[in-house]
Amino acid sequence: MQDVFSFALERYEEELAFMMSGSPFQGLPNELETSANLLLTNWAIFHRHVDDKGMTIFSAYMRSRRRTRWRPAVQTHLKRWDEAVPSFDEIIHIEDERRFLVRDLLTRKEKYVRFLTPEELPSAREGDVLVGCLVPHGDEWTYFMKVLPILKSGKDRLARALQAEWNPDTKTCEVFLRESFPELLEIAVHELLWQLLSEKDWGDRDQDDVFSRIKEKGRNNLLPSAQRGCVPLARILRNG
């Protein structure tokens, strides 16, 4: 994984920097901004075209001499990463500290995911949602580089928001996720911010009213991206 990621940063630094210059996550609390932008980068590696022929950073990696450093069995394994797909998964059961049974919020399909190193393990419990980019790992799956956990209290609200964006009559779930992940990630980050905001003393106002109040405060403070919602939310969270 790290070699693919390093290849992306070395060979496509300008393309990634240009994409990040318009990131809606600028100004979020540091850890959340880093996590969201890393997930956006992971999506770009597998699904954002870098030329008019439809090449992605990952397909460029697979065509480079760099992959020849790996033995044939590893190269065969890497080829399957063309199947990479963004995912929003509920944790159904934690088999052991590195193996989870998860259920896709949209398709309801279940799969096993394995975390390859202790550093990759999220701070999450059964019922929480994991957002990340899944790649095949043997008969199971693993998340590429990073996963973002969302508390189970926001699972149903997030699932409804994602379902509202997807029309299964026009696109398969995989195509929808690959094409729309940046916007869907923004929805997930809004949910995470809402969970943090709900810990503040806002009374009993519903979610839309709270967002409306925060966005209005953002406009009054002349924040640069107030109309998008994320930056005002982040800065009000950080500044109180």
- pLDDT tens figures, 81-102: 988 999 999 999 999 888 999 9
For residues 61 and 68, give the distance between their C-alpha atoms in angstroms, rounded to a whole number: 10
Residue 207: per-residue pLDDT: 52
Name the residue with higher pLDDT: 236 or 184.
Answer: 184
**Predicted confidence (pLDDT) at residue 203 exceeds the cutoff of 80:** no
Mean pLDDT within 115-134: 89
pLDDT class for 236, splitting at 50, 70, 90? very low
Helix 173-197 and helix 230-239, axial crossing angle in degrees, nearest 10: 30
Mean pLDDT within 148-158: 92
Residue 230: per-residue pLDDT: 38
CB burial of 6-16 (b: ≥16 within 10 Å; e: otherwise) equals ebbeebbeeeb
The full set of domains in the chain, from first to last, is 2-199 (2.40.50.320)
Among 76-90, 119-133, 220-234, whose mean pLDDT is lowest? 220-234
For residues 56 and 204, give the distance between their C-alpha atoms in angstroms, rounded to a whole number: 47
Residue 210: per-residue pLDDT: 52
Residue 208: per-residue pLDDT: 55
Residue 28: per-residue pLDDT: 79
* CB-CB neighbours of 183 under 10 Å: 10
pLDDT class for 36, splitting at 50, 70, 90? very high
- pLDDT tens figures, 51-92: 888 899 999 998 887 777 778 888 888 889 988 999 999 999
Are 45 and 5 within 8 A, CB to CB?
A: yes
For residues 62 and 65, give the distance between their C-alpha atoms in angstroms, rounded to a whole number: 8
Within 23-152, strands assigned E span: 85-96, 99-104, 110-114, 129-137, 140-150
pLDDT class for 213, splitting at 50, 70, 90? low
